[in-house]
Structure 1
């Protein structure tokens, strides 16, 4: 199977991606596929990461720290920004088109043998497990796709289970309270897992303790971000783990929340090794972290940024970084598309504080029409609002009239960030 055929196969199996529904949440289908393949998900130790926001950054920091320690690291994340290969990486390098076609062909063969028709996410997850086993990674860092307990990634038996934080998201599948969300995410904690909990709400923390992992370490009690300062190109951090205080660590990511993710990630890696890390390993690992599409600065004149925040808590953080850390002096220009209630997202993004809003339809079957987003923006008090059929048209319009001291932010969905990256990068360069 070549790369294009693999993409066609996945598209035929897309369900949630097109409808936003999960009809029968269960790990049983992927368990059957994995069993037929010889259980490749058990071929290496795993650090498993869930949470409402911050999963992607935490996974990348963990992966870079493990790589700095000299391990060969498989990293599985979702969704992708521009190409599906980005989801499956070995030592930071995406799986090649040829290898991706081969492993997806293997999943198609398993479908024929087992009679199990996987979803898009199940197929890519199974492919990642197969490839990691084939290339013999030393450790896999796996990001949960949705919630935790019945997520396709949860067939792993993680040595370390990580929860970044809890907020309301995916309440159509688990809710309506954060307690319900926490119970679902706690499902990644297995009897032998060490649990690293970034959440601090006592009632929610107790849910994770009750899940019965081998040990539980909680932000504030066992680890914390002692100092978290704005630095050129990122954050300057002092981090306390259960064993050590690491000082003057530079993380090339934007936003104070990344300091919180850093403390979680560092504690997870220490726990994996059951030992503190050498100072040079910590500094090297953090310095090499990259997060395309997560408050990624593409240019500075005008300031041009994309961000993949897809829910109100993430949008609120995005707006805080944009307005409070960067403090743009010229016109503030928002390019926005979303898959969810535009009123909630625009309020969290502080859309009324932007001078211009370019509303567009995200490139997804679940994308909210740009006209509906524009209507919501006007109801919030936004005066200069334009509607576009797609992200590229919105980017072109924003770029056409932007001056060197203006600031452009494209956000609202990872699909918008991905689609905006190339046109905005061309403009920024």
Structure 2
């Protein structure tokens, strides 16, 4: 925790897009040209599930996979995994020391995300990972993950999020996401919308080959399985624990990776892939609780689709109580509008986090609904847990920070 606090204070801002400062430090650490196969995943939503599934499949295929994701839900070590296992505290501390020494020698400051990403790269290099699966933190073109040239790029979808940094239109955001495309590499685009011009233009400029959902690869969901198909392969696969849309993107990426992966490895990898906070269903004190980190309209639409499917299969749950909060720079009004038809009771509190939305702003966005206000998210969740009826689902959502606060409460309880 001391090192994480340190990286939070070293640089003047938490988010500082651009590669000028980080590149000299990366060069000194010798992480810019890894011997591994590099798969980079950008997009507005679905990155976590996609990278998790790619990693799970490749682990089953016998590769040593370094998986980098952000943000974490419960503790920082989740961000850096090797062969499915979280990095240890000692391993991270050793990497942080080296990153700090390198940035001091360069006379540069690094943001929290830049420093911790370089530490992950250093660990993957030292552990001689065969494949690095890298989730872009913000955008693509100017994100620190993009200092590494990928052999395969994946763009999960494009939505309006982080507009202060990435732009206020789909095309502007697509331009940033397209920044991960490199010359002559395969590129998977999994967006449900029309292929943005910015991605087409970048792919043409780099002579990269686009593989587009519902044009070059397809998925068909059935009651107890689903089918993936492309020009090269047709597979019948188990449903797994994650959204089929994201699993299919991962399978498409693996099929294009050039790695030796059997059908069995794909099936087992899909079945075993799990990620915290992505429609994570748990029983807590005999109450049904769903955790979902969706924090923008597209993510919440995805959440509601998953919730609908869950209730169709579990008809005893007819009512939803939500423990809810968001960050101030998110589209609170649209998110709450989407949730209102489903939620019967809101339990809200302000987050204890930078950029937290004020409680009154959350309350005003919900309006006229059945709303209870609490001092903390922990208090809101405790109330939900104590009072939920057998027919009610407790839905914890709105932000990664909301989930983190509830997890900390659960951990502290006997």
Same structural fold, with TM-score higher than 0.5 when normalized by the shorter chain: yes
2:95 equivalent in structure 1: 103
Query: Are positions 1:367 and 2:356 aligned together?
Result: yes
Show structure 2 runs of 5+ residues with no match: none
Query: Are positions 1:394 and 2:387 aligned together?
Result: no
- The number of aligned residues is 406
1:414 equivalent in structure 2: 400
Residue from 337, 342, 348 that aligns with 1:353: 342
Contact 1:15–1:120 (8 Å) recurs in 2: no
Contact 2:348–2:372 (8 Å) recurs in 1: yes
Q: Secondary structure at the match of 2:226?
A: strand
Q: TM-score, normalised by structure 1?
A: 0.89
Residue from 204, 226, 230 that aligns with 1:237: 226
Show structure 1 runs of 5+ residues with no match: none
Measured in 1, the distance between the counterparts of 2:317 and 2:275 equals: 26
Q: Secondary structure at the match of 1:282?
A: helix
Measured in 2, the distance between the counterparts of 1:73 and 1:242 equals: 27
Measured in 1, the distance between the counterparts of 2:44 and 2:342 equals: 26
2:6 equivalent in structure 1: 9
2:204 equivalent in structure 1: 210
Shift of 1:241: 2.9
Contact 1:330–1:405 (8 Å) recurs in 2: yes
Q: TM-score, normalised by structure 2?
A: 0.92
Contact 2:174–2:196 (8 Å) recurs in 1: no
Q: Secondary structure at the match of 2:50?
A: helix
Shift of 1:259: 1.3
Name the Cα RMSD after superposition: 2.1
Q: How does 1:145-294 map to 2 (within 5 A)?
A: 145-199=137-191, 200-204=193-197, 206-225=200-219, 227-229=220-222, 231=224, 236-253=225-242, 258-273=243-258, 277-294=261-278
1:84 equivalent in structure 2: 76
2:323 equivalent in structure 1: 335
Do the aligned partners of residues 62 and 97 (structure 1) sit closer, same or farther apart at CA in structure 2, a change above 3 Å counting?
Answer: same
Shift of 1:375: 2.2
Shift of 1:364: 1.3
Shift of 1:307: 0.4
Contact 2:296–2:331 (8 Å) recurs in 1: no
Shift of 1:58: 0.4
Contact 2:47–2:156 (8 Å) recurs in 1: yes
Shift of 1:366: 0.8
Deviations 1:302-360 (A, max 9, x none): 32111011111101221232245325634310111101242122112x22432210111
Contact 2:68–2:133 (8 Å) recurs in 1: yes
Measured in 1, the distance between the counterparts of 2:80 and 2:33 equals: 14
Query: Are positions 1:314 and 2:296 aligned together?
Result: no
Contact 1:360–1:387 (8 Å) recurs in 2: yes
Q: How does 1:51-70 map to 2 (within 5 A)?
A: 51-70=43-62
Residue from 36, 49, 56 that aligns with 1:44: 36
Shift of 1:372: 2.0
Measured in 2, the distance between the counterparts of 1:77 and 1:333 equals: 29
